[in-house]
Structure 1
């Protein structure tokens, strides 16, 4: 099977899902109303409730729900073969993830921008709300810890990615000021911002940054984790328009351009898929595909975390209720496209089946390294970018996806703490 064939089939199905199926759900089932007064207007406070351009909000939602999971999950799941992963990503995105995200945004918008916990409290009771909020808080903590560790390891393994990843924060802050304070043209600001981000990717390999292997008894990965969570805690207290929203927006554009380069590379290089459609020669210790496939690929098909983001930060920024289709459904489609790229480069980014089997010698061995190295080879062969630049670019893509999800996750934890303050009348928690 040639990778171009899979690419065209996958993109064609996802496009049909957005253009046809999402329109049906939005107009006939949810009945989205352009004139409905959204919480962003009703409770506008300049911090969390901010009416937002749907393209900017799409960038926030897409990068927040995507994270590194739609890369890592498919990159691991192809050990069972490319066909099960491909089918689950494509049809899961069309019929599950897209509908789930759009519906969660709509449900929260219709309930004053409240979280799922608050809605449960009103419908079922406060005890159920408290229990659900504890569970959600702990799950968010687990997600944030996982992504923080992934980013930290990427910073250690690819020092050339440090400047692009952290420099993106400065670019995002400036963009936020340009859009909201100085009211500059969004297309112009977007263009300059994207150029700046790719200039940072070029700069990264020239000035790689490495932390000492150990300081004060903590290794370099541990220090990066500390730095990341310190930043995320501070960012969660800032108004969304100042850093979170512009960062997600400009990163979303950058990442879609990166996906475009990856797809063009596949079209030009046209590598054959060397991995089997269904792998009958699984390494010893590999678990059964059913049901683990649906757990391994969650983001990229359907994930409950999307509901937390949709009803958490996203719903508080929706300008018009009809924007839920573009923001929610197309945000999920963007994630499906990322997962599709991960499947293609981890099955066609190898010269031979033997090379692929050498990497996939055990369950979990492929992961993000297979995506970065396989994708780097495809981009090098396809559009002629240097292998070092390609690897840095893909590492930055993965780190930015994980970082934006971590940012949103920590902010969602702040929302939960504030909800506890409101539930139990604790003023010091209400303030966040």
Structure 2
């Protein structure tokens, strides 16, 4: 199979999805209008509520939801073959992720920019809200703790990426001032920012920064984790225009340039995909494709974390309700494009089937390493960029996306604590500094609770895929309830919702069995808690849907 053919089919399908399907959803289902006053204008405070140019906001939304997950998930899932991963990414982006992300933004904007968890209380009921917010908090805890480990590991393994990763923050601070104070136009700001970022990537290999393996009584990667959380705490308290928006925007541009380089190299080299379409010779211990494929690839097809970003930070910055389609749906398309690039790098970036099999000798192998090594191989052989430089480029791309997700994730966790303060009338918890300390403290307890290396978050990471996909299903439930209340077509959200609930519950049950057989009773208990909580919220939402349909019929 030619990688170019797969690239053209994938990009063409996603492009049609945005041009045709998202237009239909925006006009006939959500019925977006420019006349509605968005919360960014109604509650503008210059910190969290800031009306934002849709291109800048798209950059924030896209890079916040992308992280490393649309690279890691697809680059692991190709162990079952490239065809299932390709189909789930493309079809999931068009019919699942796009309407999920846009729907979450729309629902939040129509309800004073409340998070999807708090919104559940207004749309469904107080019991559902309480349970839902616990699931959300658990998911954010996983994301923040684990992404800190991922970034720290990348900086330990690739010292050439340290200067570009941290230098990008300085670039973002400068860009934020230039955009917010309108010193120069967005086009020139974008050009200067991209040039500065790529200059840092070029400098990186010449000035590698290697953290010692041990610093006192702590491993080097643990020091990086502490530094990252210190930075994220400060970033979560800064006005969004100062760091979050420009950092995400410039990273979004950097991603598209990186994808253009990767896609261009594929077009020139036209490599063959060496991995099988359907892998019938998977390594021992690999779980079945169904239902695990649909939770292994979350970001890049559909992800509940997107709903948290959409209803947490994105909805507070939306300038016009009409921007929901571009920011929400096209943000999902951007992530699908990244997932497609990860699939191609991880299946066509190897010289032979034997080399590919050596990388994928056990389930869970591949991931970022397969993306970086395979992508660097394609870029070097396609357009002649030195392999080390190409590897640095792709590593920085992965690290910057993980960093922007962590920035947004910690801010979202701060919002959760503040919303709990509002719900339970705890004035002290509503204070941003206190809520941030609680957010960071909970992450550090998880990270360092199991040892001094800070990798404690990895203990509960096996539950991320199922928890994340259940959250996506529950978000679609909330959006569906809103659509029924407004008398809008609901099938476009209910079909992906039913599919997600079925495959995710089956995956949770499969995990229950594997945790029990492995004697991992901690994860077994946590899995049961997540399953019960999700079923209870689903029952509450189903009851709300039934009640609303009954009211609608009685009114006829």
TM-score, normalising length: structure 2: 0.77
Aligned to 2:251: 251
Hey, what does 2:221 align to over in structure 1?
221
User: Aligned partners of 1:224, 1:398: CA distance in 2, in Å?
Assistant: 16
Distance in 1 of aligned mates of 2:131 and 2:91: 33
User: Following TM superposition, by how much is the alpha carbon of 1:423 offset from its aligned partner in structure 2, in angstroms?
Assistant: 1.3
In structure 2, the partner of 1:24 is 24
Q: How does 1:265-344 map to 2 (within 5 A)?
A: 265-344=265-344
Q: Which moved more, 1:122-131 or 1:59-68?
A: 122-131
Task: Kindly report which structure 2 residues correspond to 1:174-189, keeping only aligned pairs within 5 A, or say none.
Answer: 174-189=174-189
Deviation at 1:120, TM superposition (A): 1.4
Tell me the CA shift for residue 426 of structure 1.
1.6
State the shift of 1:329 in Å. Answer: 0.5
Question: What are the ranges of 5 or more consecutive residues in structure 2 without an aligned counterpart?
Answer: 433-556
Name whichever of 366-375 and 123-132 sits farther off. 123-132
Q: CA deviation at 1:430?
A: 1.2
**Cα offset for 1:121?**
1.7
Once residues 312 and 182 of structure 1 are traced to their aligned partners in structure 2, the CA distance between those partners, rounded to angstroms, is 26
* Matched residue, 2:456: none
Taking the aligned partners of 1:182 and 1:32, their CA distance within structure 2 comes to 29
Please give the residue correspondences for 1:1-16 in structure 2 after superposition, counting only pairs within 5 Å: 1-16=1-16
Residue of structure 2 equivalent to 1:121: 121
Residue equivalent to 1:415: 415
Cα distance between partner residues in 2 of 1:273 and 1:254: 26
d(CA) in 1 for partners of 2:82, 2:128? 41
Greater relative contact order (CA < 8 Å, ≥ 6 in sequence)? 1
- 1:345 maps to what in 2? 345
Structure 1: distance between partners of 2:193 and 2:227: 24
Q: C-alpha offsets along residues 314-365 of structure 1, whole Å, 9 cap, x if unaligned? A: 0000000010000000000000000000100111001111111111111111
1:72 aligned residue: 72
Is it true that 1:395 corresponds to 2:392 in the alignment?
Answer: no
**Pairwise CA distance, 1:182:** 4.3
- Residues in 2 aligned to 1:27 and 1:123: alpha-carbon distance in whole angstroms: 22
TM-score (structure 1 length as normaliser): 0.99
Q: Could you tell which deviates more after superposition, 143-152 or 130-139?
A: 130-139
Q: 1:184: how far off?
A: 1.9
Q: Distance in 2 between matches of 1:423 and 1:59?
A: 31
What is the match of residue 81 of structure 1?
A: 81
Q: Find the counterpart in structure 2 of residue 242 from structure 1.
A: 242
The 5 Å alignment of 1:109-258 reads: 109-258=109-258
Instruction: Name the CA distance, whole Å, in 2 between partners of 1:104 and 1:423.
Output: 21
Once the two structures are superposed, residues 190-235 of structure 1 have per-residue CA deviations (whole angstroms, 9 ceiling, x without a partner) of: 1000000000000100000011111121111111111111111111
**CA RMSD across the alignment:** 0.9
Return the offset for 1:134: 2.3
Q: CA deviation at 1:145?
A: 1.1
Larger C-alpha radius of gyration, 1 or 2? 2
Aligned partners of 1:350, 1:125: CA distance in 2, in Å? 52
1:90 equivalent to 2:90? Answer: yes
CA deviation after TM superposition for structure 1 residue 131, in Å: 2.8
Query: SS where residue 268 of structure 1 aligns?
Result: helix
SS at match of 1:236: helix
Name the SS for the 1:336 alignment partner. Answer: helix
SS at match of 2:375: helix
Query: How far apart are 1:124 and its partner, in Å?
Result: 3.5
Q: Deviation digits for residues 125-151 of structure 1, max 9, x if unmatched?
A: 334323322221121011111111111
**Using the alignment, how far apart are the partners of 2:247 and 2:315 within structure 1?**
18
1:38 paired residue number: 38
Report the more deviating stretch, 140-149 or 199-208.
Answer: 140-149
Match of 2:427 in 1: 427
Distance 2:81 2:367 in 1: 14
CA distance in 2, matches of 1:30, 1:430: 32
SS at match of 1:322: helix
Pairwise CA distance, 1:16: 0.3
Q: After TM superposition, which residue ranges in structure 1, 4 or more long, deviate above 4 angstroms? A: none
Whole-angstrom distance in 2 between the partners of 1:280 and 1:117: 41
**Residue aligned with 2:211, SS:** coil
C-alpha distance in structure 2 between counterparts of 1:422 and 1:29, whole Å:
32
Q: Which moved more, 1:365-374 or 1:113-122?
A: 113-122
